[in-house]
A = this chain, B = another copy of it.
Amino acid sequence: TEPSSPAVKTAIPGPKSSTMKRDLNLIQNTDVVHFFVDYDRSMGNYIVDVDGNVLLDLFTQIASIPLGYNHPRIMKVLTDPVNLAAFANRPALGMYPPSEFAQILSETLLSVAPRGINQVQTMACGACSVEHALKGAFMAYRRRERGGSPPTQEEIETSLLNTPPGCPKLSVLSFKNAFHGRTMGALALSHTKWVHKLDFPSPCWPFATFPTLKYPLEEFADENNAEDARCLAEVQDKIASAKRAGQPVACVATEPMQCEGGDRYGSPNFFQGLQDICQENSIALLLDEVQTGAGASGKFWLHEHFYLRDPPNLVTFAKKMLTGGFYYTPDMRPTEGGRIFNTWTGDPSKVIMLKAVLDVIKEERLLDRTADTGIYMIEILMAAQNKYPNLLSNSRGLGSLAAVDLPDGESRDKIVGKLRSKGINVGVCGSRTMRLRSTLTLERKHIDIFADRLHAALKEM
């Protein structure tokens, strides 16, 4: 059972973590290792490190643990002999799928598909989900350009040479402060930190400004509307200039809330406008819900909060979904086999684990609970912000996603360190943001513990 409170016995990282880090550093760079984890003893919302320190985990493996550590329903999946073969024999899923795979997908991924979508492709991580989703958009763009004709011999031949017309000069429009992954295509859409990008060649694809909302939203409605309009105009500009430059935009890719970039929300108004622009220009809209999906926002997909008129063309997922993949509208579906393909294209054992996660979400009404705890979390953050206005600002969040800004990166890192030493594990993002990413099973009692430690930390600042 879950511990009732954090318990810190050593500095973190403690002596055992430090020894293990020294050993691992002989094998690979370990500069970003926080501490080593005793995954056997971690339970629910608490992570236990190898020195026996018990921390309330509000970062949860970069937002990728849906129900908590060693959740009984996941354990049940793992110990049920019926599932053994799925774990023992990872298939080449695109060629040799397991029995009843359509039904498995229907009961899992399609049961939570964004409204209006009935197509889904599994993948293995967030990056390949984005890369292959882009392929859907590129193929759709070129199909439309060909107007029903098959590809020419020249296209077929030049495609093997990396040159046009087979490998066309198409681009994807992304946003400043976006993050979509680390493989070359996904990385070209990412603009957060130089450590992600420096020294790596990149296609020179365009990007536009993502709105910077001012908080509290009620107070700055006019400014925020103007910001939306300014950013949407820039999107149109960039689409037009990419076309003039001979590198037309086939897809606009964005997170529904920029996470790595500093928990930057966009308004429904902005996303509705973005969809309008995409539709007017016959450009695919990709919403990357890798970090925001799977109920994190209190709705299953964060973009449900936007009330878009039509489904986005492509919705990517991973992390808390346990499997990667993407949903797509029928126009994005490849018309030939083997185009969206690789050896594994995911892992059915992760889909089986997802089934348990979705069952628990439904049975325990975790979306409602997450929406509710999210509101409470913001109350707590606002109270702290009101008490320490020189330290905290821009408290914001939805469901299990919450964030607050510190004056600068240094003070942000300082409070994160203080929280850790008091038994609360949180993350960071952007240049000065503290990032909270809880499970869907977090309760008000956990937030009370967080509030207590937060105030203690703030007092020491």
Q: Which residues of A pack against B, CB within 8 Å?
A: 20, 23-24, 26-40, 42, 47, 50, 61-62, 64-65, 69-71, 74-75, 78-79, 84-92, 94-103, 105-106, 110, 118-121, 124-128, 131-132, 135, 138-139, 141-142, 151, 155-157, 159-163, 166-171, 181-186, 188, 191-205, 207, 318-319, 322, 333-344
Contacts and interface: CB of A to CB of B under 8 A. Distances in A.
A451 B181 CA distance: 47
A196 B139 CA distance: 11
A197 B159 contact: yes
Contacts of A205: 162
A151 B200 CA distance: 13
Nearest to A190: B160
Contacts of A322: 90
B75 A88 contact: yes
Q: Looking at A28, A119, A131, A195, which has the most chain B CB atoms within 10 Å of its CB?
A: A28
Contacts of A89: 39, 42, 61, 65, 69-70
A69 B89 CA distance: 6
A347 to B, nearest CB: 9
Please state the number of chain copies in the assembly: 2
Q: Which 7 A-B pairs have the closest CB atoms?
A: A31-B337, A184-B185, A23-B102, A184-B184, A32-B337, A183-B183, A167-B202
A121 B25 CA distance: 11
A120 B39 contact: no
B37 A343 contact: no
Contact of A195 (B121, B184, B339): B339
12 contacts: A27-B118, A32-B95, A35-B96, A37-B96, A70-B89, A131-B182, A160-B197, A161-B191, A166-B198, A167-B201, A183-B186, A318-B343
A459 B31 CA distance: 63
A84 B201 CA distance: 41
A156 B98 contact: no
B110 A197 contact: no
A169 B345 CA distance: 31
B131 A191 contact: no
Contacts of A91: 37, 39, 61
B40 A85 contact: yes
A203 B200 contact: no
Nearest to A291: B343
A74 B61 contact: no
B167 A200 contact: yes
Contact of A87 (B32, B78, B183, B202): B78
A190 to B, nearest CB: 9
Nearest to A84: B78
A181 B342 CA distance: 7
Nearest to A156: B194
A69 B205 CA distance: 45
A198 B106 CA distance: 30
A119 B106 CA distance: 42
Nearest to A155: B198
A142 B29 contact: no
Nearest to A34: B95
Contact of A342 (B47, B95, B121, B127): B127
B36 A125 contact: no
Given A39-B98, A75-B88, A159-B194, A62 B343 contact: yes
A333 B103 CA distance: 45
Nearest to A427: B95
Contacts of A160: 191-194, 197
A423 to B, nearest CB: 16
A32 B69 contact: no
